[in-house]
Amino acid sequence: MSKRDYYEVLDVARDASERDIKKAYKRLAMKYHPDRNPGDKEAEAKFKEVKEAYEILTDADKRAAYDQFGHAGVDPSRGAGGFGGGNGADFSDIFGDVFGDIFGGGRRGGHRQPARGSDLRYNLELSLEEAVRGVNRELRIPTLATCDLCGGSGAKKGTSATTCGTCHGSGQVQMRQGFFAVQQTCPTCHGRGKIIKEPCSKCHGDGRMEKSKTLSVKIPAGVDTGDRIRLAGEGEAGEFGAPAGDLYVQVTVREHPIFVRDGNNLYCEVPISFAKAALGGEVEVPTLEGKVSLKIPPETQTGRMFRLRGKGVKSVRSHAVGDLLCKVVMETPVNLSERQKELLREFEDTLSGGGKHSPKAEGWFDGVKKFFQDLNS
């Protein structure tokens, strides 16, 4: 009998992402899982079909070969042996894999313990002021939480899981092939040693449910982009009573219209007029704590950096406080009146006839003159 198209089996588009494929696989695997369909041979066959399609489409090389050549380009068989008596698929191996994929557990090495819940990540964006001073934030987190009806056991209220009749609670079975005996994960209980005969009506035997929870998180003062805050036990609930995972809050600080942060220091540009740069004076400079007065000495050149100590950011890891570095930028006046232009021309005339007023320009022109002399020599 010809095989169905793998994309059709998983009910996904041919350009589906690996994440979409895995999501479809988990949904179908849960639907046709033997624990949900005891004694149903048709469900068992569909379960194996879904597993085979998943293994091909999540392997980049196999998927490429399948897309080009179809079933002829891949060989999903696992070799002879197993419970099927030579049908090319080791049934216990398939069961162990899907149990691990759905519930996050392993499938080898004896009685399998319920897996710890997955860690979660939450991306939190803050303003510079919030990052510097610290803030309390309410976070809404979608997660897998312990089922409140069965308490995470997965069994119907008033019932409990029973010892597996196949492995008698050990989680392992032995298979004999000639002179050899091979120990494998029990295909009935998947290594747990227990069977849920009557699944919980609310979580359908999983022990966990999708749920959103709200957490109040204190963000410490001084955090910066790339910092991560760990909230222990606030991740996904573990399976069947296992410990929950952790929640990691990943911090990103938005760009600020005035300040640029570099570690614990802050930088900003302060525009000053030509007259103030030449004659000196005072300008008001913003800080995160309010305005301060910055003294500009006479003959200040554009680009000069002034340091205001202790006006930066307090480190989240120590008590050290950074500085605020202010770069003064001389601003050329615009929209001049005719009288203002005339005054500037008169002023320019008073500066001609020597380099004592513009030593940098004089030195630069001397360097250019020497450059051309050397070039022509």
Are 213 and 141 in contact, with CB atoms under 8 Å apart? Answer: yes
Are 330 and 272 in contact, with CB atoms under 8 Å apart? Answer: yes
Is 326 annotated in a binding site? The answer is: no
Residues in Cβ contact with 126 at an 8 Å cutoff, skipping those fewer than 6 apart = 135, 219, 223, 251, 252, 253, 254
First and final CA of the chain: distance in angstroms?
A: 91
Give the tokens for residue 12: 């996904």
Q: Which segments within 75-134 are labelled E, that is strand?
A: 120-126
Q: Between helices 18-32 and 41-57, what is the axis angle to 10°?
A: 170
- Over its C-alpha atoms, the chain yields an Rg (Å, rounded) of 36
Determine how β-strand 180-185 pairs with β-strand 172-177. Answer: antiparallel
Give the tokens for residue 254: 């938005």
Alpha-carbon distances of 82 from 85, 86, 109, 184, rounded to whole Å: 6, 7, 18, 10
Is 150 annotated in a binding site? The answer is: yes
Strand-pairing partners, residue 199, are 155
- Candidates 307, 301, 309; CA nearest to 328 is 301
Alpha-carbon distances of 218 from 32, 138, 230, 236, rounded to whole Å: 44, 9, 11, 20
- How far apart, in whole angstroms, are the C-alpha atoms of residue 373 and residue 90? 87
Is 189 annotated in a binding site? The answer is: yes
Binding-site sequence positions: 147, 150, 164, 167, 186, 189, 200, 203
Binding-site sequence positions for Zn(2+): 147, 150, 164, 167, 186, 189, 200, 203
